[in-house]
A and B are shown apart, each in its own frame.
Chain A
Amino acid sequence: MSLLEVKKVTHAYGSLRSFWRPQTEAEVLSDVSFSIEQGTCMGLIGTSGAGKSTLGKVILGLEKPKKGQVLFQGEDLYTMNSQMRRQVRRNLQVVFQDSYSSVNPRLTAEKIIGEPLENYERLSASEQKRTIGQLLEQVGLRAEDMKKFPGQFSGGQLQRISIARAIALKPKMIVLDESVSSLDMVNQTNILKLLDELKDQYGLSYLFITHDIRAAYSISDTLTVLEKGRIVETYYDKDEIFTSPQPAVKNLVASILPEHPRNRTIANGKHFVQV
């Protein structure tokens, strides 16, 4: 049994209904099916507007799809009872792109990371403090940082706090929705390294949503390309993405920025003659 199974999910957003105009629907996901095994990472790649984030929301249980099922550990997310739902929420965590808006600016790091612990684990005050300190150290921050407010952290540090909050309950799966896109290169690489270590340590599964093939390639085991709400192709061997015949995938691969100037696609600049 796969950890997460998405079966023929179709979702649409409707426009506002008014007296003069009938409601129109724009389909954002059509017939999306895939599955994620325990302990693996799937990279979901697509251009903006492809439906990546909607799919992420559907999987998290935040948006009920019009058709189709989302099975987490074999149970349907949208028909299960509240008690099971509570268990799923514990095992399914999320890290968003914008770390500043995903934490409460009035709470300290201790409160931010402590929130899921308070909800699920009944720890004594001292125990909880120790756990939070350990979590902070695990994501590369210091235990003393728990007294600080979000405004006192940099973007990369705050993203680490979001990750600490996500792993606090030792979940089975984390949805990473453009989690590293707003960070600079050095931070990006460090966070990806951290995520990879955590994955091995806890046997986590990731759904890594991004538009950047470079980031997805370095962390994922399998890659899936989404285009206009449809899955174009899934690559179980991630190197296959570079030789795919699909035009949408080709387009994405062709826009990967070169890692060395000798591979650049823009060549005109070199021929510029000074007047």
Chain B
Amino acid sequence: MEKQQIALQVKDLSIAVNTPHGALPLVQNLELDLTPGKVLGLVGESGSGKTVTCMALLQLLNPKSMTVEGSIQLHGQELNGLKQKEMRRVLGKEIGFIMQNPMNAFTPVYTIGNQFVETIRTHTALTKKQAIELAVSSLESMNLKEPSKIMKMYPFQLSGGMLQRVMIAISMCLRPSVVIADEPTTALDVTNQLQVLRELDRLRTECGTTILLISHDLGVISELADDVAVMRNGRIIEKADVFQLFDHPMHEYTKKLLQARPVLPVNEPLRKLVI
């Protein structure tokens, strides 16, 4: 696979929802560049258009009720306006998607293994046996114990943290070049949260995956992101390197967001003492 400078390029993206009173813009003139091996954090409060942006990138919005304008290029291939059938070939293989709530992302009536193998076999020519082997090894690399046992379990038998790691395993096993993670840790408790973030970091270090990390939690962003885009009312109001953004926020709204962080007396020496 040839590596281009930019894995996913979003240019001039506008999303509007069609209402009886006319089109209501949700996202306007959005520009994003995702470079390989980097994590781009997208921050904003609820209702700022983070999730609808990521749905548009994946072409999951209903074209009847929503209009998506602009260009979304994955390694030079235009995604916006692709037919559903063609898009299905890209999803899962080229772009991985990690959803907010792992409990709702799986079908409760099929086993994990069943759903895992289905994903693999849709995109590759592997036999069922090979697919199971691949699934087991990718579960193993997610630090899940007894992967062959997990394959036979149903989603509701696993905890939220485990299920989220299974979802990452599924979305990563075909080595997509771009992963979109929409609030991957919001539904998890603190210890699982850090573990999931570590797994994401390991994957981008090992495979050079690009990650679009969507979150409202500046803690998650400061833990993992390299660059940050701050979103408000459907527009990106500030884009900067993560260190620069935290040290020298330019926009008033960014300053307000940074002030909203709960402040703890965990400073550097204390942190070292703790770990």
Contacts and interface: CB of A to CB of B under 8 A. Distances in A.
Nearest to A49: B159
A189 interface: yes
Contacts of A103: none
Contact of A254 (B223, B226, B275): B275
Interface in A185-201: 185-189, 192
A101 interface: no
Contacts of B204: 269, 272
B172 to A, nearest CB: 16
A255 B191 contact: yes
B125 interface: no
A252 B190 contact: yes
A208 B43 CA distance: 27
A264 B270 contact: no
B46 A259 contact: no
Given A185-B45, A243-B270, A259-B261, A211 B220 contact: no
Interface string A142-169: 0000000000001110000000000000
A132 to B, nearest CB: 26
Contacts of A118: none
A260 B247 CA distance: 9
Contact of A259 (B202, B219, B242, B274): B219
A266 B261 contact: no
B274 A213 contact: no
B87 interface: no
A243 B275 CA distance: 10
A61 to B, nearest CB: 26
B275 A269 contact: no
Contact of B193 (A182, A243, A251, A257): A257
Interface string B23-37: 000000000000011
B contact residues, range: 35 or more
Interface string B178-205: 0000000010111111100110011011
Contact of B263 (A188, A211, A259, A271): A259
A258 B218 CA distance: 9
A263 B261 CA distance: 15
Interface string A94-110: 00000000000000000
Given A47-B189, A48-B159, A213-B190, A155 B208 contact: no
Contacts of B39: 269
A248 B101 CA distance: 26
A contact residues, range: 35 or more
B36 A255 contact: no
Nearest to A259: B261
A242 interface: yes
Contacts of B190: 47, 211-213, 252, 255-257
Interface string B218-231: 11101111100000
A262 interface: yes
Contacts of A243: 270, 273-274
Given A187-B46, A266-B201, A274-B36, A255 B242 contact: no
Given A254-B274, A266-B224, A184 B262 contact: no
Contacts of A271: 205
A33 to B, nearest CB: 24
Contact of B266 (A49, A218, A253, A272): A253
B243 A257 contact: no
Nearest to A212: B190
Given A255-B191, A269-B205, A261 B243 contact: yes
7 contacts: A47-B191, A156-B46, A185-B45, A255-B193, A258-B219, A264-B223, A266-B198
Closest 9 CB pairs of A and B: A257-B219, A184-B216, A211-B189, A214-B262, A261-B222, A255-B194, A189-B260, A48-B189, A255-B190
Given A256-B190, A257-B222, A262-B268, 19 more contacts: A47-B190, A183-B46, A186-B257, A214-B262, A257-B190, A257-B193, A257-B217, A258-B271, A259-B218, A259-B219, A259-B263, A262-B243, A263-B266, A263-B271, A264-B222, A268-B202, A269-B201, A271-B205, A274-B36
